Amino acid sequence: MAAKDDPKLVLYSYWQSSCSWRVRLALNLKGISYEYKAVNLLKGEQFTPEFEKLNPLHFVPVLVDGDVVISDSYAILMKYLEEKVGPQEQLLFAETNVEKGFHALEKLLKDIVGKYATGDEVHMADVFMAPQIAMATKRFKIDMSKFPSLSRIYESLKALPEFLESSPEEQPDAVM
């Protein structure tokens, strides 16, 4: 990743934010170390002057890399992290377009082969899907037995140490 003298990445995050979780998961899967800075949304810490300088919209996550500040999980994942890390560690497919996106969704719904959303390797689809499935089951008590493919993928993801380390319960600001 970055040279030893380069500034360390800082992730401003809230433990229960699914958007923050997907960024934590991607950082962990890529083996990128970062400093975690908790922003307690329930206490209104996103409205402090310090945080407002980073993101005037008051949302988490925010990723800071030296002078670069990115305050949108999609931008962090799709552009910054994919461009910063070499192709051997990319979570996006090398060639991406709308039609391939629809094919991937169809594959998810009909006949997934492999442990994850696109086969036997973790890709961006898994990073986006995992927090949503977890939140659906934990917070909204959705019966995932109706979705056997999604359940199987989720169980595979839950076995990854990177997934466990990025989960809300493992964050320093987690409230149980």
pLDDT of 95: 41
Q: Which domains does the chain have, with CATH numbers?
A: 9-170 (1.20.1050.130)
pLDDT of 82: 76
pLDDT of 69: 95
pLDDT of 24: 95
pLDDT of 71: 93
pLDDT of 109: 53
User: What's the Cα-to-Cα distance from 22 to each of 19, 123, 128, rounded to whole Å?
Assistant: 5, 12, 6
Give Dmax (Cα) for the chain: 50
User: What does the radius of gyration of the chain's CA atoms come to, in whole angstroms?
Assistant: 17
pLDDT of 30: 86
pLDDT of 1: 41
Please list the ranges in the chain whose pLDDT falls under 50.
1-6, 94-95, 97-99, 101-103, 105
User: What's the Cα-to-Cα distance from 80 to each of 27, 65, 69, 71, 83, rounded to whole Å?
Assistant: 11, 10, 10, 11, 5
